[in-house]
Amino acid sequence: MNTISTTSSYKLALIYFALMLIPMELSGFVGDLRLEPYRVFLILVFLFNIRGMYHLYKNDTIAKWLGFYCFLCLISYLVNHGSAGFQSAAILFLEVWVGYFIGSRIAGDHEAFKKVLRILILAYLILVPFAIMEAQTGYRLLHMWAAKAVGGTATETLGPDYLRYGIHRAGTVFSHPILYSVCAVMFLPIIYVYYSKLKATLLSSGIFVAMVTSVTSAGVVMAIITLGLYFARKLSLRIPSIFTNISIAFISLFVFVSLFSDRGPVLFFAQVFSFNPQTAYMRYLQWMYASDDIAANPWWGIGFADWSRPHWMPDSVDSYWLITTLQNGYPALIALGIAFILSMKSYWQHWRYTGITIYFAYFCSIISLVFAAYTVDLFDRAPLIVFFAMGMFNSFLIKSLPEKVREAQRASPSALAAA
């Protein structure tokens, strides 16, 4: 089948990103399958780009691991739900792998990437007045508009539980405020690479508004991690071993908390990453009770079955890594984790060997997201944006790796890992 040309790749990316920002209420049903505009688009991209996707799978190691992750999830859903699991697996494949493919079509073109980045910046700026209004009133205007457009219904407000420090937590087009913040902040280091500091700060005002009006610690923690890494990068000019020292310090802290804290590392870090102590403790309980189900179903998880917990606990799980293991088992978690680790390792290696700052920005973006996902479940628009962004980031790895680095990889892969 014909593939969409590289020259129009950014248009494909722009269409997909625009469709992601349509609230989920603007959708219809075919049987029990909810068809949103972005899902229809993903199906069309899949049907008309099979050859291009095969080429990506053959040449991109990370795409292989994401494909393997999708395959393991398919087995998990079939084991837990029978043939009904095909639908969930197909949706996962579209949102993870086909979304990654669309991002990869940028093909290392900085001009195309910058065009997508401009639209992203503009989108978050447009959301500013809606976020401020929602923070003041709690009224989810964009969701209500989307529901009315198709004659459906939507939740007008998230209720008193989402009122913090006198602010109604805003989610704008996202189904949960925390996703609004996380999906914005992951692009913060990228913007500061492409624009001067003053211009980047002004253009990032939409992202800063998302951080404030969502009233969530996840976005703030991501920003702190990014700032800390940039500060460490400057210190590395005087202290070459600074990143090694940071890694040792983090591992030492984890071991120390495991051995000497009565809270344990899970509760300790959950409290560090949360504004609300009650929320932090609830997340600790989620890890504790969900771990029983994981231990009983380590290979394929429990799918979408209800997990074991006290009757008074809600059924939500606030950790992407935990819910992945709970639903799909350890093999799926490992495959997904390898895809993220290989991506971060490649960004790091490219930065060390080329000195090009954008690779360091990619590293900051994804590693801060990995930490945030410890206390955030990536659902709704979040996985769409995350895997689409990874596809764009990783397209520069395929195209831009210098020949001397490829030679070094062939000669001594361990030499790169030690760099």
- What pLDDT does 413 receive? 41
- What pLDDT does 97 receive? 98
Angle between helices 205-213 and 177-185 (to 10 degrees): 150
Instruction: Band the pLDDT of 162: cuts 50, 70, 90.
Output: confident
Contact 416, 349 (CB under 8 A): yes
Q: How far is CA 114 from the centre of its chain?
A: 20
Contact 51, 39 (CB under 8 A): no
Can you give 255-298 as a three-state secondary structure string? HHHHHHCCCHHHHHHHHHCCCCHHHHHHHHHHHHHHHHHHHHCC
Residue 80 lies in a domain: yes
H or E element, residue 29: strand 28-30
Pick the range with the lowest mean pLDDT from 178-187, 316-325, 343-352, 399-408.
399-408
Position 189 pLDDT exceeds 60 = yes
Average of per-residue pLDDT across 340-367: 94
Position 104 pLDDT exceeds 80 = yes
- What pLDDT does 268 receive? 67
The domain tally of the chain equals 1
Average predicted confidence (pLDDT) for the chain: 88
Contact 257, 264 (CB under 8 A): yes
Residue 281 lies in a domain: yes
CB proximity list for 61: less than 8 A, separation 6 or greater: 342
Share of the chain above pLDDT 90, in %: 66
Angle between helices 110-126 and 382-400 (to 10 degrees): 160
Q: Cβ–Cβ contacts within 10 Å for residue 332, how many? A: 24
DSSP string across 102-116: HHHTTTT-HHHHHHH
Residues spanned by the domain of 149:
6-418
Q: Report phi then psi at 373, rounded to 5.
A: -65, -10
Angle at 290 between CA 289 and CA 295, to 5 degrees: 105
Average of per-residue pLDDT across 28-47: 92
Distances (CA, A) of 193 to 219, 328, 360, 402: 19, 37, 10, 20
- What pLDDT does 30 receive? 86
Instruction: Band the pLDDT of 272: cuts 50, 70, 90.
Output: low
The better pLDDT of the pair 34, 341 is held by 341
Residue 296 lies in a domain: yes
Tokens matching residue 325? 């293991």
Average of per-residue pLDDT across 375-385: 93
- What pLDDT does 259 receive? 67
Average of per-residue pLDDT across 12-16: 93
Residue 1 lies in a domain: no
Q: What is the pLDDT of residues 190-236, one digit of tens each?
A: 999 999 999 999 999 999 999 999 998 889 999 999 999 999 888 87
Residues in the chain: 419
Pick the range with the lowest mean pLDDT from 31-35, 86-90, 132-136.
31-35
Share of the chain above pLDDT 70, in %: 88
Tokens matching residue 412? 């001594």
CB proximity list for 127: less than 8 A, separation 6 or greater: 172, 173, 206, 209, 210
Position 415 pLDDT exceeds 50 = no
Residue found by looking up tokens 């990103």 in the block: 17
Q: Which one, of 321, 320, 313, 294, lies nearest residue 305 by Cα? A: 294
DSSP string across 158-185: --GGGEETTEEPP-TTSSSHHHHHHHHH
Q: Report phi then psi at 401, rounded to 5.
A: -65, 120
Residue 50 lies in a domain: yes
Contact 346, 366 (CB under 8 A): no
- What pLDDT does 212 receive? 94
Instruction: Band the pLDDT of 33: cuts 50, 70, 90.
Output: confident
Residue 82 lies in a domain: yes
Most confident residue range from 69-83, 274-288, 342-356: 69-83
Position 407 pLDDT exceeds 60 = no
